[in-house]
Amino acid sequence: MQSHTITLNINEEIHIVAVKAADTLLYTIRGKLGLTGAKPGCLNGDCGACTVNVDGWPMKSCLMLTVEAVGKKVTTIEGLRETPIQQAFVENFAFQCGYCTPGFIMNCHSLIQQHPDADDQTIKEWLESNICRCTSYIEIEKAVKSVLNKK
């Protein structure tokens, strides 16, 4: 097993970590950096619970090797500070157990960054990447639209 020492830019902080080439970004941010907001739900790219933001776009961190993140800006839920989308999730009861929430919020946050005027079709296309088993999605729809519309 070969260990690589790499430099990662996570939540606007530079981290130097030792990783194996086979380590996924999810494994590293949770296990090495203690950023446990991103959740494992399937490790197979299916559920979206592990979603973070890489260079402005949503990324399922279980589908990315840590070494692939070198030179990119990674933002996790811990890197968001009182953003409107977080507040909107609270106000709209857009979560129950909360397990899917960091991933959903990171996806919504990326959407708001990339398409501040997203229409219904675009919202649907983006948000169908994540599974929420507790809510009905209507609450999440309301939350994201309340932020999109404000812009």
Ligand X SMILES: Cc1cc2nc3c(=O)[nH]c(=O)nc-3n(C[C@H](O)[C@H](O)[C@H](O)COP(=O)(O)OP(=O)(O)OC[C@H]3O[C@@H](n4cnc5c(N)ncnc54)[C@H](O)[C@@H]3O)c2cc1C
Scanning residues 55 to 94, which ones bind other proteins (CB under 8 A)?
57-60, 62-65, 67-68, 76-78, 80, 86-87, 89-91, 93
Give per-residue burial for 84-95: e unless 16+ CB within 10 Å, then b. ebbebbeebebb
Interface residue with ligand FES, options 17, 52, 54, 62 (CB under 6 A): 62
Please state, in angstroms and rounded to a whole number, the distance separating the CA atoms of residues 87 and 83: 7
Does 50 bind ligand FES (CB under 6 A)? Our answer is yes
CA distances from residue 139 to 14, 29, 96 in whole angstroms, order as listed: 36, 29, 10
Does 29 bind other proteins (CB under 8 A)? Our answer is no
Does 97 bind ligand FES (CB under 6 A)? Our answer is yes
Mark residue 98 as left, alpha or beta (left: phi above 0; alpha: psi -120 to 50; beta: remaining). left
Phi, psi of 140 (to 5 degrees): -70, -40
Q: Cβ of residue 42: shortest distance to other proteins, in angstroms?
A: 4
Q: Concatenated DSSP letters for 103-115?
A: HHHHHHHHHHHH-
138 binds, among ligand X, other proteins, ligand FES, none (CB under 5 to 8 A by kind): other proteins
* # residues contacting ligand FES (CB under 6 A): 23
Interface residue with ligand X, options 33, 43, 46, 122 (CB under 6 A): 46
Binding site for ligand X (CB under 6 A): 45-46
